[in-house]
Structure 1
Amino acid sequence: MIKPMLEGAQMTVLLFLIAIAASIPLGFVLTLAVKSSIKPISWLAHSYIYVMRGTPLLLQLLFICFGLPMIPGIGEFLVLDRFAAACLGFILNYAAYFAEIFRGGLLAIDKGQYEASQVLGLSKWQTTTRIILPQMFRVALPSVSNESITLVKDTALLYAVAVPELLHYAQTVVNRDFTIVPFFFAGVIYLIMTLALTAFFKWLEQRFKFE
């Protein structure tokens, strides 16, 4: 019972790592696009974030897995492996949330920081990389931590698109052995993963406090 569930946990961890590694940079790019002075780019970024945050992640996963191949004319070129499709769905969805988190971090920075940088003779690039971004990430870090923990739990949605992850194996054992014990094991594994992630972000927060 334990071995297949641990294999499912590996799939869960792999999806999390791929999604977090891609969605955070993409979210930051979206933040820059939202703040762009080029109106069409800003409008498109705003619209993307609104759609991705305003519709359920499960619906997005189902659309990418089963809807894209049904598009007339080009559907046959949009057939993806289920795991790859799930990764794409998670990345696109969470990038929108991280974009809003980073935007909030930028809004929290006092305008005096920009003025002080100009007085010190720093270039726009130096101001952004040395003054603004470190403060933005420090402010956004708690929200990034919360969103990352939510991402771990949301990986259970892989079950809905037939990707064999932790919950899938737990349900399989429950149906086979007529016992709810696998659900408790699955819960413990999720708790261990979120505990490790919480500890990691706590360490990051402490490090940023003293920099």
Structure 2
Amino acid sequence: MMEQVMLELSSGFLVTIELFVLTLLGALPLGLFIAFGSMSKLKPLRFLTRAIVWVVRGTPLMLQLILVYFGPGLLLDYQLWGGSSAGRFTAVTVTFIINYACYFSEIYRGGIESISKGQYEAGQVLGLTRRQIFFKIVLLQVVKRIIPPMGNEFITLVKDTSLARIISVYELIWAGQAFIKSAGIIWPLFMTAIFYLLFSGVLVIIFGQIEKKLSYFSS
């Protein structure tokens, strides 16, 4: 039984890792674009971007999953994602990317706006372009300041992947919960906690090392 449980949990954990990685690959760059939009000097763009971020951050991720997956079929009479497991996983991934991009955008914006204007002015005095100022002076300081909140969001994402089962995507929690019905045992569900703790622990160590490497920047 133990071998079967570990096999099923490992299978679900791989899906969890895949969703985690794909979300970061999409949300990290998208969040930066959204951050620039929310800081834009164009008022319509800034208002629209901040309104979208407000809506996404102000509504439950579970609700967003349901709307993204079922919405096209119910509202437009068009099943955008199809009924396959691949389609459901794609819907989950798209929803997670949009959701976390909005959260990341606020972290980016806070980090960028925390840099004093004097540093931008100093760069201009040295004859640097705005692009050079951003990449050579601002960027590494921003990275240092956003590492702690980013670490928190990464760990939250690990746990949020369990919401994928809402639209029948097989992941770690589902794998553990399935044994309650099939075998009448609950201990595999508790074992899922070990997987999450180990995953989160690895992230804590990684972010701790990154913070140490960036410690030469003063806060």
TM-score by length of 1: 0.95
Deviation at 1:107, TM superposition (A): 1.9
Identity %: 37
1:45 aligns with 2:59: no
Where in structure 2 are there 5+ consecutive unaligned residues?
none
The aligned residue for residue 79 of structure 1 is: 81
C-alpha distance in structure 2 between counterparts of 1:21 and 1:59, whole Å: 23
Residues 58-73 of structure 1: pairs in structure 2 closer than 5 A:
58-72=62-76
1:127 aligns with 2:129: no
C-alpha distance in structure 2 between counterparts of 1:65 and 1:123, whole Å: 45
- What amino acid does structure 2 have at the position aligned with 1:137? V
- What amino acid does structure 2 have at the position aligned with 1:204? I
TM-score by length of 2: 0.92
1:90 aligns with 2:96: yes
Count of residues in Structure 1 that have an aligned counterpart in Structure 2: 209
Could you list the runs of 4 or more consecutive aligned residues of structure 1 that deviate by over 4 angstroms after TM superposition?
none
> Residue 38 of structure 2: which of 18, 21, 34 is its match?
34
**Equivalent residue of 1:69, what SS?**
helix
**Equivalent residue of 1:178, what SS?**
coil
- What amino acid does structure 2 have at the position aligned with 1:48? I
C-alpha distance in structure 1 between counterparts of 2:76 and 2:159, whole Å: 34
**Equivalent residue of 1:209, what SS?**
coil
1:112 aligns with 2:114: no
**Equivalent residue of 2:214, what SS?**
helix
**Equivalent residue of 1:187, what SS?**
helix
C-alpha distance in structure 2 between counterparts of 1:72 and 1:13, whole Å: 32
Where in structure 1 are there 5+ consecutive unaligned residues?
none
C-alpha distance in structure 2 between counterparts of 1:33 and 1:4, whole Å: 43
C-alpha distance in structure 1 between counterparts of 2:106 and 2:120, whole Å: 21
